[in-house]
Each structure stands twice: as structure tokens, then as C-alpha cells.
Structure 1
Amino acid sequence: MTERKTPTQAAAGWYLFLRDYPDDEDMKHRFAEWLASDPAHARAWEDMNVTASVMAGVPRILHMPARTSATPVLHMNAYRVARRFLPGCALALAAACAALAFMPPDMLVRLSADHYAPVAQTRDIRLADGSEIILAPRAAVSLTINGSERGVRLLQGEALFDVRHDPTRPFRVTAGHVTATDVGTVFDVRMDGDATTVAVREGEVHVASARSGIIERNLHAGEWERVSGTTATAGTAPAATIGAWRDGTLIARDQTVAALITALRPWTAAKIVLTDSELAKKRVTGTYDLRQPEASLRLIVEAYGGQVSSLSSWIDIVRAR
């Protein structure tokens, strides 16, 4: 049985679809049909726009599809917003907070991101200077590009950066408390909770932490640095394996089952629940196909006495046999 979405949940979903695929005419048509099919949909869509505007910190109203005879027009001007959410910002903020309970987990990040890669998809971003950013699934970035600087903030997930060096405009990537500055290179940045890992595939990167004394040094090809809280850990890896995920390959080198499951999660819409702490600690070395996350999950855990039980198409339970 398929779970029925509330109008608020559906509006949040449409917001993301239209944001990610703004040129999809078929999707716009289906959205217009959904919007016109129930007055509750129109109210939920109006509330979704208000929520997005409040949370983004600036007025931001999505453009509606071309009007049809069945499509209501939502004039989201300041007067109507104020009237609906009197006495002002306090109630608008309350409405935004209430709507958060029905939003997908990534909604907060996606509202503040300039670019986002959906589940199980990578996304290439080509900048005007010739640099390229490849986002791993569920990764999000915000950009600050102008005449004097090139700045990227990694909001979540993992991204590979192929930078065209320009000494007059440093290319800086900030993730948590860590900043990686290009010295002419290809490098990977990954966020796992409060930990940030920078790994260099080609060239050289300067890595520094905003927390004094933790780390400030240059990394070269094949070197990586992981900063978690007030601790920094360094290591090396074959340079060619860094960023291998962009080709759909997961390379494990003495990593825990728990770490590999974390790496698989962005590549599947199913929620993976690991219930066995001993299985989680098992060390794994091998190569797995990220494009086949279900098969890879089973290969990883079954080799160590685990099993995967699918409660539905959306939940995989991993436990010991």
C-alpha cells in the first residue's frame, strides 16, 4: 500500500522537483494539474512559497507554470503574505517551523544551496573560469564567485573539484571548520557529520582549520587529511582512487562496514538501518558498484555474516544472521 502524502508534503516535493528540473515541461504540466485538482493544494503551495522565502532570508517566489483555465493564480505579494500571516514575521516563522516537520530531510540544505545533486545522481557544475565541480549524490554547495574571489561552501556530502588555477583569484572550498585552497589541482572534499576530509588527486592543496593549531599544511597527490572536532588525522591513498565515486566505484581499503554503509546511503532512495554493532566494526577491503547499491550492500555484509532484510522498497534492515 502506497502512503498518501499530505498536501504540505506534496508541495514540498513539487518545490524540489521544479527547482531541480526547471526546464521539464512535462513536470510543469503535471504540477499545474496537481495544483488545480484541489483547493488544499493551492493553499499548501502558497504556504510552501512563504516558508521558502522566510528560510532563504530574502523574498523568493517560484514562478508558476503557464496559466491554464483550470490553474488558479497565486499572487504572492507582500500584502497577501502579511494578511495571511498576521501579525507579521513571528507568525510567518512559526508557519515555516511547522512546515519543517513535513519536509524531506534535505529541505533545509536545498533551500540555501545554489546546487544540489539528487539521490543516486551526480551533478556536474562548470564555472565560467573553466573549473568544474562534480557533486556526489545528496551533496549541496553554495557559491561566491566574483571579480576578486572564487568561494565554494560545501553544505553537505562530497564533491570533487577540478580547478583552473588563478593566482589573482584563489579558489577556496569551506566545509565545516576546514578550508581547502587550490594551488592548481584536482581534489575531493567530504563531510561526515562534524568530520571533514580533504584528499588530493592531482597537484597541491593548502588545508587549514578555523580552529587554531589543529591543521595548516599543503597536501600533495595521494595525501589526505581528516579533521574531526579538535583532532586531525593524515594518510595516503593511490591518487587514482581519490574521487572514484564519480565513475560509480566505491573502493574500500580496510574500512568498517558502518563506513561503507554511510558511503552507500546517498546512492539509494531506501533507508539503510544497521542494527548490529559488532557487524558495524568489521573491516572491509574491496571494490563495489555504487550504481547497484542494493547488490553492493549485500556483498559487503553477507561476507561478514550479516544479512539484508527489505521491509519494503524503502527500508533495508542490516543485521547479523
Structure 2
Amino acid sequence: MTPDPRDENHTVSDEAIAWFTRLQSGDVTEETRRQFESWRAHSPLHAMEYDRVSSIWNDLGGLKSGADSRPLSKAPPVSPSTAVPSGITRRGASRWRASMVILLLFLFGGSFWLPDAWVRITSDHYTETGERRELTLTDGSTVYLDTGSALSVEFSPQIRRLVLDRGRALFVVAEDKDRAFEVAAGGGTVRALGTAFEVLRKPGGVVVTVLESRVQVSRDSSKTNLTSGQQIHYSSDTGLSGVAMVDREDIATWRRGKLVFHNQTLAEVIEEVNRYHKGTILILDPQLRSSKVSGVFDITDPGLVLQALQDTLPIKILRVTDYLVLLDQAKTPAPAS
């Protein structure tokens, strides 16, 4: 099975939008510019996605970029329909411009909804954002679908095959000595050698975690067997990773409405929270992405997760709408003289 290029493109597209927004904010430092140039030069795909975002914005007429008007992210003059409303302060105007950039890109970019619509059409089972569902298959196996997930079922007299088109699922496999049980996801295959396992498909690749018994994970010509409490990652870039141990109590906590993070980056946390948020949360400051997060969060209310993060990290939250949230570096107050 060939890897799905939409996985990588989705992540790079999000990063390109975040960079474009930050460069239009009117508060760009030389360090930010250096970080941007490094990101853009990382691969032709990065440059292509940034140019695509910039092109979409130029087609819309653009917004004046405030104090920052260097050639790095050119923008045409302000059009009457996008002029900053009266009564907004200079600092507020920068935030407003940045918010409008993202909002209009969401409205007109198109790429945010087309893959989702395609998955809806081609999958047998689909969950909306915030929805979780339990499925009983014809062989007696049970599948627990997490939020924003899609699954296709391809059973035959010879094999029980499923395709995780997106999202995450926990599979509890019924015994059938005549037919193997396989789950395909992101260019790899997971074959059940026992009872229960979880598969997560995300833009950066696929994560397989075993809750009970054993599975065999294969990608290209590589194969690895996992037992209870073990986990493996794979992607189109890295192939199969090494086997890691995980706490069995942390597996599939999403079924109870909880997410558990152990010293993970804020970028990883927000990527996960975004799966439950009806909209998108974007990190504007690249340095924030590497901030470390640990804790147990109630994912039934993503807003409370953001509030908890704000209580522990130097971040500020700008809620443009209920569907668009921006995270940026909080300014450290100057010490009292």
C-alpha cells in the first residue's frame, strides 16, 4: 500500500499558515525571520505550501502587514472590505490582521475540507468531532472509534481486513481460526495475533499500541511483533521505529474522555487536542511548539485543556471565534524597579 500524501501535506499546510500569520502580525524579530527561513529551506514542500498560502491571500486582496513590510511576506494595500475597524488599538490591530489572515484562509483555502469530505464518501464508518462510537462487526469483533475517525471494512471468506482512513480506533478481535484480522493504515499493516490493540493514524505517521496479547506490524519489507504494553511508530520517512514500553493504564484513555501526556511537546499536545476541537488551534510562536507538557486532561471540553495549559506555560490565548483559537508567547512582565 502506498503512503497517503495528504497526511504530510496537512501538517505542512498548518505550519505554513502559522508562519504566514506570524509574519503578518507586525511584531517580527530577526530571530523569527531566521527560524522561518530555516523552516522554508527544510524541503521544497515547505516552500511550496508557504507560496500557496501567500498566493491565496494575494488573490483575496490581502491585508496591510502593519509595522512589518519587508519583502519576506509581501501584502497588497488594505482593501475597504478588510480595513481595521475603528476603535481598535495598534496592538489589537495586529492581532486582528493576523486573525483575519487565518480566518479567510480557512474560508477560501479549500484544502481544509476536501480531504475530510473525501473520507466521508469513501469510508464505511465515520465519527464527527467530539463523537465516539462503538461498532460490532459481522464476525463478532468490536471496534471503538475515537473522535474524527473513519474506517472501511473489507471482509471476505479469506481475510478480515479493515482500513483506518483517519483518526484512531481500538480493536477487540473475535477469534476466527480460518481468517486473519488485519488493519491497514498509512502504508503499513497490523495483523492481530491475539485480542486488543489500538491504531492511531495522524499526519506524522501511525502509532500502534497493544493492550492485550500480540500483534504483528509490517511496513514495506520490515516486520515486528508486539506484546501487551508495547508500542511502535512508522511513517513514510522513517519506516518502523524501535519498540517502546507504555503504561497499560494510559492506553485508550480517550474512551473515558481523558488524554494523558508524559513530557510531550506542546505541538504534540495541540495536535491531539485539535482532534476534539470543532475548529482549529494554531501555535503562532515556533518556540512554543517545543515546550514540554505532562498531565491528565479532560478532553470533553478542549477549552478547559487550553486554560490548564495557560496556567502552566507562558502562553496567551486569542479566541477569534469558537472555531479558531491562536496560541502565542505571553510577554514576560518587566521586573518591578
Q: Which has the higher contact order (CA 8 A, sep 6+)?
A: 2
Classify the secondary structure of the residue corresponding to 2:195.
strand
Contact 2:186 2:235 survives alignment (8 Å): no
Contact 1:123 1:135 survives alignment (8 Å): yes
> RMSD of the TM alignment (CA)?
1.7
Partner residue of 1:320? 329
Contact 1:257 1:301 survives alignment (8 Å): no
Classify the secondary structure of the residue corresponding to 1:258.
helix
Partner residue of 1:250? 259
Classify the secondary structure of the residue corresponding to 1:106.
helix
Of residues 264, 277, 281, the one that matches 1:272 is 281
Contact 1:274 1:317 survives alignment (8 Å): yes
Distance 1:106 1:122 in 2: 17
Q: How does 1:15-164 map to 2 (within 5 A)?
A: 105-164=115-174
| Residues 1:222 and 2:232 aligned together | no
Contact 1:149 1:169 survives alignment (8 Å): yes
Contact 1:202 1:239 survives alignment (8 Å): no
Distance 1:255 1:289 in 2: 17
Distance 1:224 1:165 in 2: 23
| 1:198 shift after superposition | 0.5
Partner residue of 1:311? 320
Classify the secondary structure of the residue corresponding to 1:155.
strand
Code of the residue aligned with 2:303 in structure 1: it is E
Contact 1:298 1:307 survives alignment (8 Å): no
Classify the secondary structure of the residue corresponding to 2:139.
coil
CA deviation vs aligned residue, 1:204-258 (integer Å, no higher than 9, x gap): 111111x22xx31210111000012242323111112111111111000111111
Distance 1:221 1:117 in 2: 27
| 1:116 shift after superposition | 0.4
| 1:312 shift after superposition | 1.2
CA change 1:102–1:248 in 2 (3 A) is: closer
TM-score (norm 1): 0.65
CA change 1:103–1:190 in 2 (3 A) is: closer
Classify the secondary structure of the residue corresponding to 2:158.
coil
| Residues 1:184 and 2:191 aligned together | no
CA change 1:146–1:117 in 2 (3 A) is: same
Classify the secondary structure of the residue corresponding to 2:170.
strand
CA change 1:249–1:103 in 2 (3 A) is: closer
Code of the residue aligned with 1:139 in structure 2: it is S
- What 5-or-longer segments of structure 2 have no aligned partner? 1-109, 331-337
Classify the secondary structure of the residue corresponding to 2:193.
strand
CA change 1:288–1:101 in 2 (3 A) is: closer
Contact 1:201 1:240 survives alignment (8 Å): no
CA change 1:222–1:173 in 2 (3 A) is: same
| 1:101 shift after superposition | 7.3
CA deviation vs aligned residue, 1:31-54 (integer Å, no higher than 9, x gap): xxxxxxxxxxxxxxxxxxxxxxxx
Code of the residue aligned with 1:216 in structure 2: it is K
Code of the residue aligned with 1:246 in structure 2: it is R
TM-score (norm 2): 0.62
Classify the secondary structure of the residue corresponding to 2:304.
helix
Partner residue of 1:92? none
Distance 2:186 2:112 in 1: 27
| 1:102 shift after superposition | 9.8
Code of the residue aligned with 2:229 in structure 1: it is G
Partner residue of 2:293? 284
Distance 1:265 1:103 in 2: 15
Distance 1:181 1:165 in 2: 13
Distance 2:260 2:142 in 1: 23
Partner residue of 1:26? none
Distance 1:112 1:319 in 2: 37
User: Kindly, what percent of the aligned residue pairs are identical?
Assistant: 28
